[in-house]
Amino acid sequence: MCPNLTNRERFLNTFARKKIDQICYSPRLYYWYLGNKLYNKRKRHLEQLKSRIPERFLKKSQLEIYNMLHAAPRYSAETLYLPLFETEVDPKAGIEKKTIRGSKESETITKYITPLGNLTQTTAIGGGLGIHYTEFPIKDVEDIKIMKYIFENTKCVFNEKNYKNAKDMLGDKGVLSDYLLSSPYQKLVKELMGFVRTTILLKRKPDEMEDFFMFLEKWDDDMYEQAAKSPISIINFGENIDCNLSPPPQFEKYLIPYYEKRVKQLHKAGKYCHIHMDGSLKDVLPYFADLPFDGLEALTAHPQGDVSLEELQEAIGDKILLDGIPSILFLPQYSNDYVRDYAQKVLELFSPRLILGVSDELSPNGDIRKIEMIGEVVKTFEP
From first to last of its 383 residues, what are the pLDDT tens digits of the chain? 578 999 999 999 999 999 999 999 999 999 999 999 999 988 888 888 988 999 999 999 999 999 999 999 999 999 999 999 999 999 999 999 999 998 888 899 999 999 999 999 999 987 556 788 999 999 999 999 999 999 999 999 999 999 999 999 999 999 999 999 999 999 999 999 999 999 999 999 999 999 999 999 999 999 999 999 999 999 999 999 999 999 999 999 999 999 999 999 999 999 999 999 999 999 999 999 999 999 999 999 999 999 999 999 999 999 999 999 999 999 999 999 999 999 999 999 999 999 999 998 999 999 999 999 999 999 999 99
What pLDDT, on the 0 to 100 scale, is given for residue 304? Answer: 97
Cα separation of 370 and 381, whole Å?
Answer: 17
Classify each residue of 270-302 as buried b or exposed e, where b means 16 or more C-beta atoms within 10 Å of its C-beta: ebbbbbbbbbbbebbbebbeebbbbbbbbbbbe
What pLDDT, on the 0 to 100 scale, is given for residue 103? Answer: 86
How many CB atoms neighbour CB 143 within 10 A?
19
Cα separation of 242 and 178, whole Å?
Answer: 21
What pLDDT, on the 0 to 100 scale, is given for residue 158? Answer: 97
Cα separation of 136 and 283, whole Å?
Answer: 27
What pLDDT, on the 0 to 100 scale, is given for residue 97? Answer: 96
Q: pTM for the whole thing?
A: 0.96
User: Whose CA is closest to 35, among 337, 327, 303?
Assistant: 327
Amino acid at 16: A
Domains of the chain are 7-89+139-380 (3.20.20.210), 91-138 (no CATH)
